[in-house]
Chains A and B, each alone.
Chain A
Amino acid sequence: MRDAKSLLLLLVSLLLVLVSFVLIWTWGYRFYNKDDAYNVNAKILITDSNAIVNRIRDSLQKVYNETLHSLDTRLDSTLVNTDSVKAKLDVKLNEFFKLSNEITAILKNRSNSADFNTAKRKIGELQSKADDLREKSRVVENENKKLGGILDQLNTPQKDPDRNIKQVNFEEKPTPEKSNAEYVLFTASELKLAAMKGADEKETETTQADATEKLVGSFTVLNNNMQLNNAEMIIVVLQPDGRVLKTSAWESGTFNTPEGKRIYSYKLNFNYLKGEAKRLLFSISTDKYQKGNYTMQIFYNGTMIGKMVKSLS
């Protein structure tokens, strides 16, 4: 009986040892295989990172291509109809293509270290430049339409002889900015910028910067083509140090020119009757006046139509 008990215990022990061996072997096997699986996963991760890089590159490439494509369609028609502003557009286009080359170079770089942030930023710039070009193209198209209308009007024979004389005068009238003559409807003449001292009735002109209390400007505008309900003249007065003279923040602002945004000193709005020689006046004052040359520039529709210099000693 006792032997039978011992035998049973021995058998159970053997069974436990065997089970332990099986378990240890299974753990060992699984542990070995897990390492392998980890390695495989790691490899997949590396492959994935490549895929991500490619995906980023592809998506950037797509945005880039869309930007170029959206620009191409509009710009083609503009370039065909553009002569006088071609030089300016060329400059903008050069900037655009330079930037697009830089982006292409970054996107062509197949290595993982390609700087996608730079590419993304540059594509942002490219999109903005494309918008800019599109806007310019729209302006050019509108101007061409306007010009076409004016030319049609001029080419139609008029019954009224006085009107014909006026048209001849307009055609022969020299304008200060010849390159943009087609887009300028107004001419400015009799430009005057005076430094004033004293107040009200005792106000007199001076050439001394220290004595100056305000600058008073005036000029005459003429437009033989159109009657305008709300014409707008922009005045820029540059101080000797090149900074724009401003009376107060409420009077100054920015305006667009073909060369970019500029700050103005004063804006004059007025009603205009066709053919009227209209005298416009403005005054600007500041705390202190520098010695040197003050430049007054008159702009209409972003184009300079008059300029003069006044010296204060």
Chain B
Amino acid sequence: MKSYMKRLILLTHVFLINIFLVSGQTSYVQKYANSSVFAGIEVGSKGVKMSLVEMDKNAQQNGAFNIMKDTSVNTDFISFTQPSYQATLAALNKFYDVAITDYKIPSDHIFTAISSGVNIQAEKENKINWIDQLISAFRFNFNEPERKVSIVSVRDEARLSHLGIIPDARRYNTFLIDIGSGNTKGGYFPNDNTKDFRLFQLSWGTKSVSNAVEKRLEADITMDNFNRQLTRVLTTAENTEIAYAINESGSYPMSDNVAFSGGIAWALATIMFPELIENSVVPVTYEEVLNFSEKLLKHHNNLSDYYILKTITDKTLDKEMIGKEVKRVNQVFDQKSLMAGTGLLLKIMRQFESVYERKKFYLVKNGAVGWISAYVNQNSTK
């Protein structure tokens, strides 16, 4: 009975992945006249992701490579269970197959990598052999024993994210900070070359802040109490870690721009600036985020797609696209997660606010495909 259930779960996973992938296959449109298309397949903590990236010859100068397709399947590999392993392998195989058969991308234009999050978790739980087994099974399935499947380190991932997200013109004056769910990482290039990278890390992320607040709530689960406890959690985080980590990074005198990526950056950019729906990056000020955090607490209802669409008067904007994306943000982040993420963002931004010099802040929306795009770019030009 038990083995029957396991098989059923596995078959359901594989069936759903196939349906998802087949339904997701549409033709893509190239943006540049003289370009090549590459695929990057990444096994991440949450699932497997495939990005089809169009590389123009000038992509690195203007930072505007074209992400033609970005597809992901949640397989929860880091739970390290048989069903999650089988689902991850099935997704990996399917993405590779789709890239070759449907998108006609040559095998040497397809890059496969395992993210640092998976590796860290596997090391913690002593499950490195699961990664090795996954790579071997994938190679065996396509009869490509020499296929390179890299395991990317935290430093490499942060460095590649910088290379993938930040355009060359801003390479040496931009500090990139990726606010994840469980931690925050990023860095900058201090010595005018892309080899030396100064890594920056915090043990706080959107979810970890939210969890710490939840633990303090006790019986009073009102938003006012959540906000009160959030202030306390973030003040402690600022005094014990954030201020110290940013000072230690030495980024203040070296950076004119501070760019934030990660889920919360995407969410805020989408809700605060729906007019800039087509922009992958939006400029923002500390005051704007501060006002938004107050709005989050008092008027969260007004952040629905219905209300946001009502406030848009520009007829040239794609309201349908805006509505869909705002809805997606509200599905991924509830009021508490938004408050936790925004609070953390404000605490980090605050370290760069000064009477004498103000840094320019940016929210990056496509941070999720940043490092894999750079990985593709780095390997495609070798």
Tell me if A275 counts as interface (CB < 8 A to partner B).
no
On chain A, the residues within 8 Å of B273 by CB distance are: 253-254
Known: A241-B316, A248-B63, A263-B314. A253 touches B282 (CB 8 A): yes
Tell me if A101 counts as interface (CB < 8 A to partner B).
no
Binds B, one of A33-41, A47-55, A119-127, A187-195: A119-127
Tell me if B54 counts as interface (CB < 8 A to partner A).
no
On chain A, the residues within 8 Å of B314 by CB distance are: 262-263
C-alpha spacing A260/B62, complex, angstroms: 31
Q: Type the 1/0 row for B254-284, where 1 means its CB is closer than 8 Å to any CB of A.
A: 0000000000000000000101100111110
Closest residue on chain A to residue B366 by CB atoms? A249
Closest residue on chain B to residue A120 by CB atoms? B301
On chain A, the residues within 8 Å of B63 by CB distance are: 248, 250
On chain B, the residues within 8 Å of A244 by CB distance are: 316
Tell me if A242 counts as interface (CB < 8 A to partner B).
yes
Known: A120-B301, A128-B302. A249 touches B307 (CB 8 A): no
- How many residues of chain B are within 8 Å of chain A by beta carbon? 27
On chain A, the residues within 8 Å of B302 by CB distance are: 124-125, 127-128
Tell me if A69 counts as interface (CB < 8 A to partner B).
no
On chain B, the residues within 8 Å of A250 by CB distance are: 63, 167, 170, 281, 283, 362
On chain A, the residues within 8 Å of B306 by CB distance are: 121
Known: A124-B302, A248-B62, A253-B273. A242 touches B316 (CB 8 A): yes
Identify B167's interface contact among A121, A241, A248, A254, CB under 8 A.
A248
Known: A250-B167, A254-B273, A260-B313. A127 touches B279 (CB 8 A): no
On chain B, the residues within 8 Å of A253 by CB distance are: 273, 276, 282-283
Q: Is the CB of A128 within 8 A of B276?
A: no
Known: A128-B302, A261-B275, A263-B275. A249 touches B316 (CB 8 A): no
Q: Is the CB of A127 within 8 A of B280?
A: no
C-alpha spacing A261/B311, complex, angstroms: 9
Q: Is the CB of A128 within 8 A of B299?
A: yes
Interface residues of A in 251-289 (CB under 8 A from B): 252-254, 259-263, 287
Interface residues of B in 62-108 (CB under 8 A from A): 62-64
- How many residues of chain A are within 8 Å of chain B by beta carbon? 24
Tell me if A243 counts as interface (CB < 8 A to partner B).
yes
Q: Is the CB of B275 within 8 A of A124?
A: no
C-alpha spacing A246/B298, complex, angstroms: 34
Q: Type the 1/0 row for B42-73, where 1 means its CB is closer than 8 Å to any CB of A.
A: 00000000000000000000111000000000
Q: Is the CB of A249 within 8 A of B299?
A: no
C-alpha spacing A153/B10, complex, angstroms: 80
Known: A120-B301, A124-B302. A252 touches B275 (CB 8 A): no
On chain B, the residues within 8 Å of A125 by CB distance are: 302, 307, 310
On chain B, the residues within 8 Å of A254 by CB distance are: 273, 275-276, 282
Known: A124-B307, A243-B316. A252 touches B299 (CB 8 A): no
Interface residues of B in 278-314 (CB under 8 A from A): 279-283, 298-299, 301-302, 306-307, 310-311, 313-314
Closest residue on chain B to residue A285 by CB atoms? B62
User: What distance in Å separates the Cβ of A163 from its nearest Cβ neighbour in chain B?
Assistant: 31
C-alpha spacing A120/B307, complex, angstroms: 12
Q: Type the 1/0 row for B20-49, where 1 means its CB is closer than 8 Å to any CB of A.
A: 000000000001000000000000000000
On chain B, the residues within 8 Å of A259 by CB distance are: 313
C-alpha spacing A262/B283, complex, angstroms: 14
On chain B, the residues within 8 Å of A287 by CB distance are: 31
Q: Is the CB of A252 within 8 A of B276?
A: yes
C-alpha spacing A121/B310, complex, angstroms: 12
Lowest 7 CB-CB distances: which A-B pairs, in order? A249-B279, A249-B281, A253-B283, A124-B301, A243-B316, A249-B280, A128-B302
User: Besides A242-B316, A250-B362, A287-B31, 16 other CB < 8 A contacts?
Assistant: A124-B299, A124-B301, A124-B307, A125-B302, A125-B310, A127-B299, A128-B299, A244-B316, A246-B279, A248-B63, A249-B280, A250-B281, A252-B276, A253-B273, A262-B314, A263-B276
6 A-B residue pairs with Cβ-Cβ distance under 8 Å, sorted by A, are A120-B301, A121-B306, A125-B307, A127-B302, A252-B276, A259-B313
Contacts from A to B (Cβ < 8 Å) = 120-121, 124-125, 127-128, 131, 241-244, 246, 248-250, 252-254, 259-263, 287
Contacts from B to A (Cβ < 8 Å) = 31, 62-64, 167, 170, 273, 275-276, 279-283, 298-299, 301-302, 306-307, 310-311, 313-316, 362
